[in-house]
Amino acid sequence: MNKFYQQNIIIQWVLAFIMFAMMMALMIVWVLLMKLSFWAVFSLFIVVLISQFLVSPLYTLMGLYKYLSPMLLVVNASDKKYDIHNGTSFDYFFLMRKTKIGAQWKKAMLIYYLDGLLEIIRRVNHNEISEEIEIRGSSYFFSERTAKNMGFKIQKTGSFEKFNLLLNYLDLLWTFSASKGKINFPNLYNIKTVSITGKLLSQNKQKLLKYKNAIS
């Protein structure tokens, strides 16, 4: 787990609020710059990148981000749906900064993703969540072939989801490039959404374990 959350809980909250205040100040500065020049709108991508880093601790402490593994989380988890996402840049800073980019980075991330999916299976098997729960995520977690092999359904990514990915493009760019070992621009048009039920995911537990053992 991220070492930040191993500190005293009071220290966590204090630092989280300080970082949130920094994010609010950044947003105010951006709005003021917008009034001075229309071109400041293009700095939104940088603002979003920094803001995601700064708000991560507070959102985690508030329970908006619930972690399945150190680098796989659920946003606004409900009894009916798990929208899974890779960890934030704040998590990358603590967990991945010493990991060599390229094959080693990709391997570490895949293991974190698989651990997260195995945690969902554990929750289903222990009746902590319903086996009818829908698990959704973007297909850049795995190749489409691997996703299908594990029982995921492939579908087109919605306009809202693509817009959200666009806003977070710089974050996606550097993490995607780190997994490739060089600058690599992800094509948003090629990103698909994958989904599966808790029951079907559980039935594919052995495939996930086999895949994890193969890359470990």
pLDDT at residue 10, as a whole number = 97
**Do 202 and 110 fall within a single domain?**
yes
Tell me the residue range of the domain where 83 lies: 64-215
The full 3-state SS of 173-209, as one line of letters, equals: HHHHHHHHCCCCCCCHHHCEEEEEEHHHHHHCHHHHH
Q: What is the pLDDT of residues 119-147, one digit of tens each?
A: 999 999 999 999 999 999 886 666 778 88
- Taking the C-alpha atoms of residue 41 and residue 106, their distance in angstroms, rounded to an integer, is 33
Total domains in the fold of the chain? 2
Residue 55, SS3 per DSSP: helix
DSSP state, residue 141? G
Domain end residue (candidates: 62, 83, 111)? 62
DSSP state, residue 88? P
**Do 129 and 184 fall within a single domain?**
yes
Residue 148 one-letter amino acid: K
**Do 140 and 70 fall within a single domain?**
yes
- Taking the C-alpha atoms of residue 45 and residue 169, their distance in angstroms, rounded to an integer, is 7
Supply 145's token pair: 């072939």
Q: What is the pLDDT of residues 65-114, one digit of tens each?
A: 999 999 999 998 899 999 999 999 999 999 998 899 999 999 999 999 99
Domain end residue (candidates: 62, 79, 108)? 62
Q: What is the pLDDT of residues 177-213, one digit of tens each?
A: 998 899 988 888 778 889 999 999 999 999 999 999 9
**Do 106 and 197 fall within a single domain?**
yes
**Do 39 and 69 fall within a single domain?**
no
Q: pTM of the entire structure? A: 0.90
pLDDT at residue 139, as a whole number = 67
Supply 34's token pair: 């917008």
Residue 168 one-letter amino acid: N
**Do 93 and 187 fall within a single domain?**
yes
pLDDT at residue 191, as a whole number = 81
